[in-house]
Structure 1
Amino acid sequence: MIIHQLRFRFRNETTEEQKAEVLALMRRTAAVDSVSFGTVGRHLGDPEAGYTHAYCVGIADLAALEEYMHDPVHLDGDPRIIPHFERLVIGPDLSDDPDPELGAKIMALHQRKVEMYPEWARQMETIPEVRIA
């Protein structure tokens, strides 16, 4: 199992209505077939860290992760979600898979997505603060 998590804060100009739409889109993504379980909600960590919300999905294996990354629902939601992020931290992900190369394989899948969808990569660059943990 691969557990993928995001922590984020909305931009100041994002309205409550837009926040609700973004969270609904994220819940829709967390419910695609390649996801074993998912949740979206308030971030309960240290408020001083500056994150208000979190997203977490459990994905069975590397093949399911690749399917998830390219799922039409995921690809459709991202352009409507990304513009609302002020801060985003990706990970740290975790897994019970003993493969010592799993992290590198996941990063290779991410790089492939960047190459396949340059517009997605450009959208990610518009987030003022992004960190991979």
Structure 2
Amino acid sequence: MIVHVLRFRFRDETTEEQRAEVLAAMRRTASVDSVSFSTIGQSLGDPSQGLTHAFCVGIEDLAALERYLHDPVHLAGDPHIAPHFAKLVIGPDLSDDPDPELAAKIQALHLRKVAMYPDWERLMASIPEVVFA
């Protein structure tokens, strides 16, 4: 199992209605077939980090992760989600898979997505603060 975690803060100008729409879009993404479990809601971490919300999905294996990354629901949701992030912290992800090369394999899948979807890369670059934990 690969557990993917995002923590984030909305932009100040994002309204409550927009926040609800973003969280609904994230829940749609988390409901695709390649996701085994998910939770989307408030972040319970250290408030001084400025992160208010979290997104967590459990994905069975690398094949399911690749399907998740390219799922049309996921791809369609990101343009409605990312523009509302002021800060995004990606990870740390975790897994019960003992493969010592797993992190590199996951990174390769992400790099492939970036290469396939240059608009997605530009979308992610529009987030003012992105941190890889």
Task: Give TM-score scaled by structure 1 length.
Answer: 0.99
State the identity %.
75
Number of residue equivalences = 133
Matched AA of 1:56: C
Distance 1:64 1:132 in 2: 22
Alignment gaps of 5+ in structure 1: none
Whether 1:120 and 2:120 are equivalent positions in the alignment is yes
Distance 2:28 2:132 in 1: 23
Aligned to 2:50: 50
Distance 1:113 1:41 in 2: 26
Distance 2:92 2:7 in 1: 10
- CA deviations over 1:24-43 (Å, ceiling 9, x no partner): 00001111000000010000
Aligned to 1:81: 81
Aligned to 1:132: 132
Aligned to 1:11: 11
Task: Give TM-score scaled by structure 2 length.
Answer: 0.99
Aligned to 2:27: 27
- CA deviations over 1:78-109 (Å, ceiling 9, x no partner): 00000000000000000000100000000000
Distance 1:80 1:28 in 2: 12
